[in-house]
Structure 1
Amino acid sequence: MPGAEVHDLGDHAPTDQQYPPKAIAHITWDRNATAAAPQDWATFDDLVGYFTGSGAGSAPHLIWDPFSGRVAQLFPADSRSKSVVDSPGGTRTNRAGRVVIQIEAVFFPYCRYQGQVYPRLVDTPCAGWDRIHAWISSWGVPDVWPMGRPVDFTSHRSEQVWETQGGWYAHAHVPENDHQDPGSWPDFGQSGANPQPSPPPAQDPTPARYQTTINGLQYGYGAQGDQVTEVGRALVAHGFGSHYQQGPGPNWTDADTENYADYQRSLGYTGQAADGVPGSDSLRQLLGALPGGRTVSLAHVIAAAQADPPAAQGHQTYGPDVQIVEQALADEGLLDQQWVDGSFGSRTVSAYAAWQRRCGYSGSGADGIPGKASLDRLAAAHGFTTTD
């Protein structure tokens, strides 16, 4: 990057060119402070020393001082860096793009710099942001936030969005990760020349584009099915259909998201709680009850548990049945929500084995292949029925 201080760590490695280009926004969050107990900012040089020393194993491409505008570059843009968790067998999160450029702003909430306290990154001068943005844009990263511009420390993760859409992502959006930073990030048009605290950031105009599973059914951008039509018709009936040019129909589009966001705001939700992707409470209020009537075939999930693990990542043998079981396992705290995908892969097998052990089974009785008794018990706890 022009003007950056180069501290090349070596250890370059290629990215996965089949994915679209991305940038990932981080803050260093090296200290825990509060409004009542702010702490002094950790210096740019200290963080450069850390990432070029003991922290090299989690180093980003760029380290950015938002107060002075100094930037250190540790990896070239066309190499992966190492600032996000990359779980074995999943999406290679540090590499999933023609470029995956990661930026660590030297910042933590309520840091004190030269006597002034800064609650959010966007309250700093954001000096040098315009140069960083221009350089990353030159690598083809589009000016969009597929999961929404970060305005707080709420996580939104969708592996499908991550793998298919280029643009800017918060660390809080990256699959397989549990960090919730950066909390805020400067606008693409911000010059980095304003040293005064900025007003609260506006919600990103791009509608939210991720999905959620409620009672075994998908909602949000790209979801398909009768449940989507039902939501659309209910929105229209309640006076929240202004964004439809046609429909509603069985395919969830941006219009559904925007209409649902209007409905959420009418209930008093704000911020990312009103991003247009349903939650169970708002959906129940809209429809009167959560759609369900879910049935799982024991024969189907056994077949899937045997066929899906050795197949390609994401392979589905009986996706609808499996997804109901996976959601129940996730609700039990045994499976991460991102793996509720209809594929009875190795993570689902491990989660089901944990459920079997919870039911008192051991040895071959807890091998992760569903049996009737354990599946019936899961069904009873999570509101679905089983068939042979």
Structure 2
Amino acid sequence: MPEPWLPGAEIHDLGDHAPTDHQYPPKAIAHITWDRNATAAAPQDWCSYEDLVGYFTGAGAGDAPHLVWDPFTGRTTQLFPADSRSKSLLSPAQSPTRTNRAGQVVIQIEAVFFPYCRHQGTVYPRLVDTPCAGWDRIHAWISSWGVPDVWPMGRPTDFSEHRDEHVWETRPGWYAHAHVPYNDHVDPGSWPDFGAGPGPGAPSDPPPHRQPVPPASTPARYQVTINGLAYGYGAHGYQVTVVGRALVAAGHGSHYQSGPGPDWTDADTENYAGYQVSLGYSGQAADGVPGEASLNRLLGYLPGPRTVSLAHAIAAARTDPGAAQGHRTYGAEVAIVEQALADEGLLEQRWVDGSFGSLTVTAYAGWQRRCGYTAGAADGIPGRDSLQRLGAAQGFAVTD
């Protein structure tokens, strides 16, 4: 399954997810923020990406798209997962479709742009006159969701509208906001090319200053944040080691010359890319930087900050051994405990899987004996003292 979150995006999940209407074909909707009115004679300063992200995560959450995209730097914020509707389209009661949901996906992108904006001293009449930085990554991700490289109502080249309910309901592809029935906006006015040759969706003139696609041999060097922890080149922490060890166990560790360790290097990226390819990802969706879906498939859980709840640890130790093989009551927290036990030499690394099964109970009992407990006090069920000692030894915090 494609990644629900764009690799490399800054995630500000607004919650309030809702399914789309799968009887309609997959779509992507192109918008510009058009937050100021400017002209060739009177350009205005560009409104910053940070301001627009702040708006859509605050007062403007009721109109939020999936992606907020800065075409000057390539920074992108994602507010909803791809398989949820977002909220940037009008969807009045008289519309035959719920426009924000009318597709297997309806991915909406807001470029932070208005015509004749002035950015760092240069005026940009059209979106395609900007560097369009990051577009290739966005396009590859949206393509992975089955949206074809066509504009059923024509590639936008100006601010005229063309709305056709039948085409909207029956044709997959890319739509301008100016194409969506029962809406009144006429943006985006232009949109970058898909990189195709002549044919549907090809540009009448190529957008200048396009950033080239990095060579496939160059490892990706950006970071993502998943469940509060960083992944990608330069990331540091226990979660990096966890991923590296899981890649080795899955047969994708050939690029390591040493390690894996707590610092994410090009070797981690190249190994993770091999793992993504094994899942069926391709292109920039297999660039070696984790997404939430692939990370969850690799580990069976999503690592979190190094904090373990005593109550959760006890519940897992009492529940997981009697449940189905691999059952994870509190996988992320249990994995922290298991890794600590492995680093203490009490549990084989291959059993660090987030499931507090019988082998983990036995290993924890060994830790309790090391702490001086005997008989029934060394039963493998965590207690406050033993868990706090393990946390102090291996660098995690313990809460109630």
Q: Structure 2 length normalisation: TM-score?
A: 0.48
Between Structure 1 and Structure 2, whose CA radius of gyration is higher? 2
